[in-house]
Structure 1
Amino acid sequence: MVVLGSSAHFHATAPGLFVGIDLGTSGLRLVAVDGSGLAVATASQTWPVAASEQDPAQWLASLEKLWKPLIRELPGPVLAVSATSTSGTVLPTDCKGRPIASAWLYSDRRGSELGARFGIPAGWGLSRWLWWQLQGSTDCRLTHPSDYLLTALGAKVGWTDHTCALKSGYDPAAGKWSLALAAGVPAAQLPAVVRPGTVVGTLAPEWGLGSGVKLVAGCTDGVAGQIASGALAVGQVCLSLGSTLIFKGVSEAKIASADGAVYSHLHPDGRLWLPGAASACGGAILEKFYPREQWEELNGCAEALNRPTGQTAYPLATPGERFPRSGADFAGGLPDVPTEDPHFYAGLLEGVAFVERLGLERLMALGMPVQGALLCVGGGTHSEVWLRIRAAVLGRELQLPAQVQPALGAAILAAAGVWGVGVAQAAARMVRLDRQILPDAALAAAYEAVYRRFLERWGGAG
């Protein structure tokens, strides 16, 4: 499915536009924004995901299909382009940047046993690259999807950014491919590493935008989403609540947990770190019990209840959790009322908020600073009652950015490359807030006792 669109207004004060490309598992999205972050045109295409590998030619064909209609809509010149893609996905390319095999998604488990010998998680691209070594091809280079697309657009060959490189065996603290080399990957197969926002070439003429359009190194989609949220200063936190719950922060020191559930990307500007973690708890539990078309009515019922409900659920759609609890068989627990009772639905909303608070407290215990309002993104922000519950349980103001797609994060990187400024500085100019949710003091006080009972029930580490 292809979707095209444009905004009704263009910020005339912006001298040029920036294009961000987001290559996801199930589709491609393009956005063109002006220097204030206002989107002036978008284009997207989706495709079914039937396997754990994909043909890079499909990505390029989709980009070509969306590119011409998008640039026809643009009300001004494009200054730069950048791209983002999924973390942990890799593909082999030749010396000219052309694919020589399929791309292996982060969900592919080839090489997981090989990787385990070196302590490499199965979801890391390095595990699949070790498997590729056994297939007999040595004349190749490890490449990430965003690198491939930018190279196809005209960027030089043989580079990657430090966020994509992390799960391919790069140590951003040391600035070396330490883990990849220790696992036996030949140095000749490993690209040079640059910071996101680094200019890596110019757009080729055949893409129809003339000369001088800069191509700028991108990052993983997770980091791009954080850039788009504006959470790039020490103490800022972005909470993404969709099917799962993702925590992203900013710290001066690298933060990690012994089990790997918490790890840190190097900040796009260097010096700082972006600690993060992910919980399996989230909106998926709502889909398990209720069709989406009922959610608006259920939210209304939950709004009408006296809250707190008193429930202390740790709601998981399926067994298995990594953070803030840990255990492959950990199944959590549901509200102890019938599913048709409005207190069950409201108890699920509260349970996710309790897990969210527990996650923040665990990250703070590891040394991650949390200061001021929390930036909230994801599908969970569409529920007003859930936002109020979360604000009360967390005891903090929630701020909702106007748009948080990874494609916007890529566009911000493009702008940083052209302006010659840090990514945080570019984001400060281009990220817009939609609204704020203040915690209700009385409700926050009422939730304290319930949260203490939640901790007594679920606060253990295992």
Structure 2
Amino acid sequence: MVDEGAGEGAAWLGVDLGTQSVRVLLVTADGTVLGSGSAPLTGRRDGVRHEQDPLRWWAALCEASRAALGSAPPGLPVGGLAVCGTSGTVLLTDGSGRPVSPALMYDDGRATAQAARAREAGLAVHDTWALPKALWLLGEYGDTPLRLTHQPDLIVGRLTGEPPPADSSHALKTGYDLAGDRWPEAALARLELPEGLLPEVVRPGTRLGEVCAAAADATGIPAGTAVLAGMTDGCAAQIASGALRPGSWNSVLGTTLVLKGAARDPVRDPTGVVYNHRAPDGTWLPGGASSVGAGALTAHFPDADPAGMDARAAAHEPSRAVAYPLVSPGERFPFRAPEATPFVLGDPVEDADLWAALLQGVGLTERLCLDYLHHLGAPLDGPLTFTGGGARSPYWNQLRADILGRPARVPEQTEPALGMAALAAHGVSGTGALADVAERMVRVRTVVEPRPGRTAAFAEPYARLVDALRDRGWLPGPVAAHAHSRLSGDTSAS
């Protein structure tokens, strides 16, 4: 049995159920990574269809956890673990927790009709959220008593030996009311969901049980290790960035761009572009996901050397062209426009100029995201952290800091699994703030300061992009006007 009072001498396990792999980290309270492991995942994509075999998640966890624990010092106590998954990924299970359907992944798009039905019932859901997928799955597999299971729930159930409650972070896209801490029963009743379909819901960090003997044999995780309720992968990455104090923001630049922040109160957005998760302490984690990002670089330059192109792009500040580098059609944040398409204004003089325009276009859109958050009244006066694959480029980090007119922290380790290790440590201790635990684990590699005078150099390209988005009917006029009013300031200004 693991001692629940294990303190600084214990290590903590974080589990990240990603799209392409399961990743496990073994981390000490000061952020030292003692072991890591990963195992690949594959899925089936066909048009809007995106499925995975949920049983493969367990097999991959067993492989990854044994690798992570294999290099740990003998006898090291493991204080606890938490699991994150992709937001909106769900399946149906039977009463004992066995899958009876494939898992519909976070971006599976087959439930558009069911989403429209849910909205008619009064639920503010998007087409790819978990609730519409649940309705779709019921239509295909709904002959026996079933339970809706979020991605981490399946793994937690295998670890503890019984189907667990869901955490409120993953339940958000299933329609859970975070403000009221309850399922919206009246609206859900209009959908005539089967009795027992929806799980009990608890706050992230709640103790769900212990690793059972059978799971310990399969995974190598010590029997009796505490299992804590996790959060979505986006929230896990935010914890790993340390951006948990009100006014702090984490900008995750990967294939696409995601901004997640912290606030004492939810950020109200009548358009639904910004939505709010809830932290274990009851504070709020607002954010949004744009469809611009580094994927546009790969699409335009599939064989490029990024470092070499970055060096050449430095001669084009600002670029002659202004790019809106959507990775795929449709925008979600800082405005909703399913019909939006990428574009380039002007003619780049060479490949390096186009590369520069794409880098700058992401930074300009990132600025518009922050201006939109300011328009909504979100607090922006805390530190900004850059994470994601794009943060591996020192040049792009500097360029983004220049465009935004504010410093940015770049941590050493930003994996979602680290965030789950921090959440486990916080949940087992039951005291203090999650922000304190995360800040002890997060190690900042560098702080990028904006160069004097460079922010002003990008004011004109930014205004051109804002106007182009407005003129196409995608960006609302009041939001465009607000962005123009902030051209001369930095994005942390009140």
TM-score (ref. length: structure 2): 0.86
How far residue 165 of structure 1 moved from its aligned partner, in angstroms, is: 0.4
Match of 1:125 among 130, 134, 155: 130
User: Which residue number corresponds to residue 71 of structure 2?
Assistant: 73
Give the match's secondary structure for 2:175: coil
User: Which residue number corresponds to residue 455 of structure 1?
Assistant: 466
User: Which residue number corresponds to residue 299 of structure 2?
Assistant: 288
In structure 2, distance between residues paired with 1:317 and 1:157:
38
Contact 1:216 1:417 in 2 (8 A): yes
Give the match's secondary structure for 1:36: coil
In structure 2, distance between residues paired with 1:224 and 1:24:
12
In structure 1, distance between residues paired with 2:103 and 2:203:
23
In structure 2, distance between residues paired with 1:184 and 1:294:
54
Structure 1, gaps ≥5 residues long = 1-12
Distance 1:100 1:306, change over 3 A: closer
Offset from partner CA, 1:133-180 (integer Å, 9 cap, x none): 334335121111111111101164340100100111211111111154
Match of 1:191 among 187, 199, 202: 199
107-116 or 386-395: which moved more?
107-116
AA of the residue aligned to 2:375: A
How far residue 188 of structure 1 moved from its aligned partner, in angstroms, is: 1.9
Count of equivalent residues? 448
In structure 1, distance between residues paired with 2:188 and 2:413:
36
Structure 2, gaps ≥5 residues long = 1-6, 120-124, 477-494
How far residue 332 of structure 1 moved from its aligned partner, in angstroms, is: 3.7
User: Which residue number corresponds to residue 429 of structure 1?
Assistant: 440
AA of the residue aligned to 1:106: Y
Contact 2:245 2:262 in 1 (8 A): yes
User: Which residue number corresponds to residue 346 of structure 1?
Assistant: 356
Give the match's secondary structure for 1:115: helix
The correspondence of residues 169-318 of structure 1 with structure 2, limited to 5 A, is 169-178=175-184, 179-206=187-214, 207=216, 208-270=220-282, 272-303=283-314, 305=315, 307-318=317-328
Matched, 1:323 2:371: no
158-167 or 260-269: which moved more?
260-269
Matched, 1:29 2:23: yes
Offset from partner CA, 1:419-460 (integer Å, 9 cap, x none): 113422321221111110000112122223332333333346
Contact 1:335 1:347 in 2 (8 A): no
Distance 1:199 1:288, change over 3 A: same
AA of the residue aligned to 2:308: E
How far residue 289 of structure 1 moved from its aligned partner, in angstroms, is: 1.5
Offset from partner CA, 1:363-397 (integer Å, 9 cap, x none): 11112110143111112112222111111110000
In structure 1, distance between residues paired with 2:180 and 2:239:
23
Distance 1:147 1:364, change over 3 A: same
Task: State the Cα RMSD in Å.
Answer: 2.1
In structure 1, distance between residues paired with 2:362 and 2:224:
48
Match of 2:44 among 50, 72, 84: 50
AA of the residue aligned to 2:71: E
Match of 2:405 among 373, 390, 395: 395
User: Which residue number corresponds to residue 5 of structure 1?
Assistant: none
Give the match's secondary structure for 1:334: strand
How far residue 329 of structure 1 moved from its aligned partner, in angstroms, is: 2.4
Distance 1:407 1:171, change over 3 A: same
Contact 1:89 1:125 in 2 (8 A): yes
AA of the residue aligned to 2:33: A
Distance 1:107 1:210, change over 3 A: closer
In structure 1, distance between residues paired with 2:35 and 2:459:
45
How far residue 263 of structure 1 moved from its aligned partner, in angstroms, is: 1.0
Give the match's secondary structure for 2:343: coil
User: Which residue number corresponds to residue 346 of structure 2?
Assistant: 336
